[in-house]
């Protein structure tokens, strides 16, 4: 049984490896049309054409190809892509059944775990979704930062304990990917939510090597310092940001930031 799963895993990798480069779904479909004419009993060709149809929104044709593929080889080989098709059509229960069966055979298939995590999130199963996303984070070398944000959002909804868990997830992302502005700024918001501007300052300071030269970073840091009672340091940063903005070409974003500085100074 173990040997069978191993061999199937190799076949899965071959099925989902890109066979050639195409400018679009139409070219891919034309390519597989010709290949299927030459090899009408090749399961992998129906799966690949089904994937192309599915990606192009031609769901009925994709379903027909996947059903044909199920007749030409092990049905399990079609499970993931059939699940993706059902997910795209909004048939979540059918999609989940396919993903569950597929992961019973290939428990470390990161793409399937990711899709099931998204599906469970859509179905309101926060615990199951978080569990799947955490496994994805373990398996992938460079997980999508947006998935860490998604998990943090789900956990935050669970109250104060959820906020702590969300921060742990974001810190895990920073540890794996390197300190990332997208994750760190989400964590800063959570620190402020739980009344810890001091920790928010530490997190923003960690972004200084990447963003500290910008007036945006200076203004954000000044706002945090004001919340921590560091008025003198905040005033200096606002002065530096103002001088920097005055020296740069005016854009709507910079004008809005300049107005934000003026509002902060007026409140102070």
pLDDT digits (tens, 9 = 90+) for 164-202: 999 999 999 999 999 999 999 999 999 999 999 999 999
The pTM (predicted TM-score) of the whole model is 0.84
Looking at residue 26, what is its pLDDT? Answer: 83
User: Residue 205: CA atoms inside 13 Å, Cβ hemisphere, count?
Assistant: 8
Q: What is the pLDDT of residues 71-121, one digit of tens each?
A: 999 999 999 999 999 999 999 999 999 999 999 999 999 999 999 999 999
Going from the C-alpha of 64 to that of each of 15, 50, 210, the distances in angstroms are 18, 8, 50
Dist. CA 7–CA 27, nearest whole Å? 31
Q: Which tokens in the block code for residue 9? A: 């895993």
Q: What is the pLDDT of residues 138-155, one digit of tens each?
A: 999 999 999 999 999 999
Dist. CA 170–CA 184, nearest whole Å? 7
What angle in degrees, to the nearest 10, is found between the helix axes of 43-55 and 25-38? 160
Dist. CA 56–CA 260, nearest whole Å? 44
Are the CB atoms for 210 and 181 separated by under 8 Å?
yes
């Amino acid at each position: 049984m173990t040997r069978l799963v191993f061999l199937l895993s190799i076949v899965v990798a071959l099925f989902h490896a890109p066979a050639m480069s195409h400018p679009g779904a139409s070219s891919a479909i034309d390519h597989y049309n010709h290949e299927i004419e030459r090899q009408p009993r090749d399961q992998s060709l129906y799966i690949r054409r089904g994937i192309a149809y599915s990606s192009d929104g031609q769901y009925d044709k994709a379903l027909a190809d996947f059903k044909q593929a199920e007749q030409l080889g092990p049905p399990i080989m079609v499970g993931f892509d059939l699940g993706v098709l059902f997910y795209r059509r909004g048939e979540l229960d059918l999609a989940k059944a396919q993903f569950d069966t597929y992961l019973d055979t290939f428990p470390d298939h990161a793409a399937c775990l990711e899709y099931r995590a998204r599906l469970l999130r859509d179905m309101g199963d926060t615990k199951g979704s978080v569990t799947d996303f955490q496994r994805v984070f373990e398996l992938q070398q460079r997980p999508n930062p947006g998935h860490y944000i998604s998990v943090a959002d789900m956990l935050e909804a669970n109250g104060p304990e959820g906020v702590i868990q969300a921060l742990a997830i974001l810190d895990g992302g920073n540890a794996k990917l390197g300190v990332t502005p997208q994750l760190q700024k989400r964590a800063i918001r959570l620190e402020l939510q739980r009344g810890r501007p001091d920790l928010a300052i530490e997190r923003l300071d960690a972004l200084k090597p990447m963003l500290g030269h910008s007036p945006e970073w200076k203004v954000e840091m000044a706002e945090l310092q004001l919340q921590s009672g560091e008025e003198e340091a905040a005033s200096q940063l606002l002065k530096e940001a103002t001088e920097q903005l005055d020296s740069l070409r005016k854009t709507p974003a910079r004008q809005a930031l300049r107005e934000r500085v003026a509002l902060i100074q007026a409140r102070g």
